[in-house]
Structure 1
Amino acid sequence: MGEFRTVTYEVHNPKIKQNQSVRFAVLADVHGSEFGTDNCDLQAKIRENLPDAILVAGDMVVRKDVSTLENARKLLISLAKDFPVFYGLGNHESKMKIEGYPCQSEYLEYEQSLRKAGVHILTNEKYEFQAKGTSLVINGLELPLEYYHKPTSPKLTDQAMEQLMGKPEPDAVNILLAHSPKYGRTYFNWGADLILSGHYHGGVLRFSRHIGTISPQLMPFPRYCCGDFYQDGQCMIVSAGLGEHTMPLRIHNPRELIFIEMKS
């Protein structure tokens, strides 16, 4: 059983209805971790904060550990009974579902059970959502696996991003679930109002709110490593995540559950 902290960000956007606020809970890089039996501690903290929706920025599971599917399934199905849940996939989910992967059938069954429970799994798809009188569009980006290659990966161009996701909706708050923060500049260019990422686990050894040592692709001191970043009224928030895999190491880098309060 692990421990985690909560981090709350206040984000302002003129598209939010006047005198209203929309609250989100953000899960990233849980990797099958448990906080209390059946994640009761994690669930209690989320329910205490009464989010309008739960946004998942990928890697709920570990691709080489089938048992993590069950932990993630229980958590998300339980939360979906009380909250809208939107799930953008990370590299672990994308890897598990490819043809010929050893646990592909178990992963596909996991996805099917989540969809049946009402979880919105977004694979380069959009979902229009109303909260507190505000129109939101949740965009779930699934990058091809080549964009996760170590130590190098291709550049994500503005054109490639548009081919994957189309264009953002001009009159709605566009929220982009984009697991890898490496391409933050492209996400900003695309036009997302709020970008949610993870993947870097806070850089393993974290020096400050925004600076961590290394990315999973072995990039030292990666840009957009952790914390909040802003550009022209847009906001990108990168979670340090709630779990680890392979090397369960964190230094000055606590696991975190994020809450976002969006206001006009």
Structure 2
Amino acid sequence: MKIKLICILGLFLIFISIYNYIQISQFIVNKLTFHSKKLSKALRVTQISDYHSNDYINSQKLLDKIIHFNPHIIVLTGDIIDSKTKDIHPTLDLVGELININPNIFFVIGNHELGNKNGDKFILNLKEMGVTILDNNSQTIDIEGKKINLCGLSFFATNQDYQETMIGIDEDNFTLLLSHSPNRPIAYSKGIEDLVLTGHTHGGQVRLPLIGAIISPGQGLFPKYDKGVFNINNSILYIDSGLGNSIFPIRLFNRVQISNITIQPIKNS
């Protein structure tokens, strides 16, 4: 009887290990579609968040998925390296491959870049490579003849930082706000943004069916804003659950992912 129990326990641990490896290494592509009256053509955005220098990921497969989607914009919503990442160059190499796909890459700084001793060097290298750093500032770009507002908040942004970032925004343009943590937009948003893209929560990493995330940074136990799409002050908030893990490489009912987002125009009748 004792031997049987040990065998069952051993098989269970093997199953859990295989399951967890799939969760942290075999990413999925979350495909989302939103709609806007401010666009005349579809806008395609690839979001990569909370990569944490995840070397379990098949980077070529990742790049192939993005190439197939053919985004107009690629956004990196923070924690692309981990606070414990010692060698930043593999992650920079991946960003370089993304630039080869599309140079319209925008980045907001996460808490792990701030906590890494090489974080400043990583951000500087991104700038030198041509990545646009949105840190309490905004930029207007032209995508196939249509102007798009891109705004970004720093991880520790205050309400005043938000207000100053949004000053002068032409609300006739489609406005995309990037923030590593959803907590700032939730607290500060005035509805100027059409779409807010964030990460940080990892979807809780460990989720339970019908319940969702058990815990999330900044929100505590059973957070409301853990993963997915929410409406805040007439804006759409999307929280991506991330392509990597922090602290422990553990995921439950919550595979690592990227998001391919399409904003379709609403034609006036």
- 1:211-250 equivalent positions in 2, closer than 5 A: 211-217=212-218, 219-231=220-232, 234-250=235-251
Is the contact made by 2:183 and 2:218 (CA closer than 8 Å) also made in structure 1?
no
Over 3 Å counting, the alpha-carbon distance change for 1:210 and 1:43 in structure 2 is: farther
Over 3 Å counting, the alpha-carbon distance change for 1:73 and 1:185 in structure 2 is: same
TM-score by length of 1: 0.83
Q: Equivalents in 1 of 2:211, 2:141: separation in Å?
A: 30
Is the contact made by 1:187 and 1:195 (CA closer than 8 Å) also made in structure 2?
no
Is the contact made by 1:22 and 1:132 (CA closer than 8 Å) also made in structure 2?
no
Q: Which amino acid aligns with 1:125?
A: N
Identity of aligned residues (%): 26
Q: Equivalents in 2 of 1:92, 1:58: separation in Å?
A: 8
Is the contact made by 1:35 and 1:41 (CA closer than 8 Å) also made in structure 2?
no
- 1:1-264 equivalent positions in 2, closer than 5 A: 2-17=25-40, 20-34=41-55, 39-67=59-87, 69-83=88-102, 84-96=104-116, 103=117, 106-144=118-156, 157=159, 159=160, 161-163=162-164, 165-166=166-167, 168-207=169-208, 211-217=212-218, 219-231=220-232, 234-264=235-265
- SS of alignment partner, residue 71 of structure 1: helix
Deviation at 1:126, TM superposition (A): 1.0
Is the contact made by 2:229 and 2:238 (CA closer than 8 Å) also made in structure 1?
yes
Structure 2 stretches lacking a partner, 5+ long = 1-23
Structure 1 stretches lacking a partner, 5+ long = 97-102, 148-155
Q: Deviation string for 1:189-226 (max 9, x for gaps)?
A: 25211100110111122246993211123611222210
Tell me which residue corresponds to 2:14: none
Over 3 Å counting, the alpha-carbon distance change for 1:214 and 1:170 in structure 2 is: same
Over 3 Å counting, the alpha-carbon distance change for 1:64 and 1:168 in structure 2 is: same
Tell me which residue corresponds to 1:100: none
Over 3 Å counting, the alpha-carbon distance change for 1:172 and 1:208 in structure 2 is: farther
Q: Equivalents in 1 of 2:138, 2:210: separation in Å?
A: 30
What is the count of residue pairs matched by the alignment? 241
Q: Equivalents in 2 of 1:209, 1:76: separation in Å?
A: 36
Is the contact made by 2:191 and 2:232 (CA closer than 8 Å) also made in structure 1?
no
Q: Equivalents in 1 of 2:169, 2:254: separation in Å?
A: 33
Q: Equivalents in 2 of 1:65, 1:71: separation in Å?
A: 10
TM-score by length of 2: 0.81
Is the contact made by 1:161 and 1:190 (CA closer than 8 Å) also made in structure 2?
no
Q: Deviation string for 1:70-107 (max 9, x for gaps)?
A: 222111111112311111111112333xxxxxx2xx33
Q: Which structure has the bigger radius of gyration? A: 2
Is the contact made by 1:21 and 1:132 (CA closer than 8 Å) also made in structure 2?
no
Q: Which amino acid aligns with 1:185?
A: I
Is the contact made by 1:168 and 1:190 (CA closer than 8 Å) also made in structure 2?
no
Is the contact made by 2:48 and 2:243 (CA closer than 8 Å) also made in structure 1?
yes
Q: Which amino acid aligns with 2:42?
A: S
Deviation at 1:25, TM superposition (A): 0.5
- SS of alignment partner, residue 174 of structure 1: strand
